[in-house]
A and B are shown apart, each in its own frame.
Chain A
């Protein structure tokens, strides 16, 4: 029916849903602090791949849903995600052509920004500063980026999301 490549936005939302499940899935106590920012990674990928459709709005909504899921202050993840979606939209042409090794650094900064904004908002709400382990998640997530990138790219090609 549609002559152009099909939209298939539902694939994007399904991967974000998978990110939600990975985020709240129970892990052993020692592993819980190393849990990567799955949803942020997936969001960054789609902002880079489909900047004309996935942007600040989707990022904000995703963040709000994640806030409800993880019981944080409403808007905490929403703010971080909309900011990284915005930065990614500005940078997507540059980041797309970078080799994976170089992409990793940009992603690291983005994830760090997300964590920093979250820390800032919990701090403003009167929560004490968490321990230094708080900063391990962007590192773990960054190490996972090449893998996440390849998996998501394959998903995009397989289902011809464009």
Chain B
């Protein structure tokens, strides 16, 4: 009886957030060996796979990467010029601008969470300077945000979790709305768009940056279905996430840098070799 009451009290406290983060992260440290053991078979099979990869595969992978690198560098040249121009124009308008983002690569830990929540565990935590509410991206698009911070791990709530909502806008015309998670992998819904809203299949949704949590301008999802039922006040709009949330293995933790808090952010890191900074953006400002 007392145990049940205690559980209910715990659940209420946990649901109202932040009261129990300390307890949770302490227990998570104690349980880290369990997670490590559970992920061990996957780690071992991966390293075995790396060990017996043959020369041809390596060669072809190297060729592919070289080609990709060339393409990306070509695109970067254009990007740098545009960025400089953008900075100059914003300077003329005297408006504030984003200095750039610092990112850190984190890997998913191969352990399962509750199958009815869209949640993953990553191998970077408090010691790497991650914080609650931090945006998480992958190479293509927005993945989710950090919800629980432990010293060595962090859990990331995916944007498709039923409890997650993300302010987005349509890239084509700037129409703002909110993308809600559905609990289904790779599906988002946009519930608050009127029937006459200018949205169509194929539209790209990007983060609007309005909630303050996510940096603006990152791709989120593509609209795959728009159903306008005349009797209903709102259109039913379904979007598919640009990130392959069921297949991600590495994610990027993002720190948005603005001139004020930059030094503090740079202090909180432990792996200088793994991090990359969008150098050009910083240089252009200083």
Question: Which A positions have Cβ atoms within 8 angstroms of B?
Answer: 17, 20-21, 23-27, 29, 32-33, 35, 56-57, 59-60, 63-65, 68-76, 78-79, 82-83, 86, 121-122, 124-128, 130, 134
Contact partner of B35 (CB less than 8 A), chosen from A27, A69, A122, is: A69
- Does B226 sit at the interface, judged by CB under 8 A? no
15 A-B residue pairings within 8 Å (CB atoms): A20-B31, A20-B34, A26-B110, A27-B112, A57-B3, A60-B3, A64-B27, A74-B14, A75-B6, A75-B14, A79-B4, A79-B11, A122-B116, A124-B11, A125-B15
On whether the beta carbons of B42 and A26 are closer than 8 Å, the reply is: yes
* Residues B74-121 near A (CB distance < 8 A): 110-117, 119, 121
Q: Which of B7, B27, B39, B116 has the most chain A CB within a 10 Å cutoff?
A: B7
On whether the beta carbons of B112 and A32 are closer than 8 Å, the reply is: yes
Least CB distance from B189 to A in Å reads: 12
Least CB distance from B211 to A in Å reads: 19
Q: Which of B20, B28, B111, B121 has the most chain A CB within a 10 Å cutoff?
A: B111
What chain B residues lie within 8 Å of A64 (beta carbons)? 10, 27
- Does B183 sit at the interface, judged by CB under 8 A? yes
Band of interface residues on B: 35 or more
On whether the beta carbons of A126 and B38 are closer than 8 Å, the reply is: no
| Cα(A68)–Cα(B114), bound, Å | 11
What chain B residues lie within 8 Å of A73 (beta carbons)? 11, 14-15
- Nearest neighbor of B35 in chain A, beta-carbon distance: A24
- Nearest neighbor of B37 in chain A, beta-carbon distance: A21
On whether the beta carbons of A128 and B114 are closer than 8 Å, the reply is: no
On whether the beta carbons of A56 and B163 are closer than 8 Å, the reply is: no
What chain A residues lie within 8 Å of B35 (beta carbons)? 24, 69
| Cα(A79)–Cα(B9), bound, Å | 10
- Does B155 sit at the interface, judged by CB under 8 A? yes
| Cα(A135)–Cα(B1), bound, Å | 26
On whether the beta carbons of B27 and A71 are closer than 8 Å, the reply is: no
| Cα(A27)–Cα(B111), bound, Å | 9
